[in-house]
Amino acid sequence: MIENVEDDFARYTFTVYPPPTPGLPWLSVCIGPDGYVLDSEAFHTGEEADTVTQKAQEVLLDSIMQKHRPPADAVMH
């Protein structure tokens, strides 16, 4: 099991690919720890792709932080 948030988050790769030829879209991609594409979305501009990719990173990080957070009813001694 991954012990901390940073190591868990580092297992995912987020990237934005520019259009390979004029007329094709920018592509935002999230690749999971197993190497499979978890999400991919096309955009008209690099700025749009970057914005959505950043938001996806924030959502994933929040999810990982919640996973690593002790339950609210955990008793600390």
Query: Beta-strand (E) ranges in the chain?
Result: 13-17, 26-31, 37-43
Q: Which pair of tokens denotes residue 38?
A: 């978890």
Cα–Cα dist 15/46, whole Å: 11
Token reading at 71: 């339950």
Q: Is the pLDDT of residue 26 over 90?
A: yes
Q: What does the pLDDT read at residue 73?
A: 64
Both tokens assigned to 32: 């999971």
pLDDT 10s digits, 32-61:
999 999 999 999 999 999 999 999 999 999
Lowest mean pLDDT across 12-16, 27-31, 43-47, 72-76: 72-76
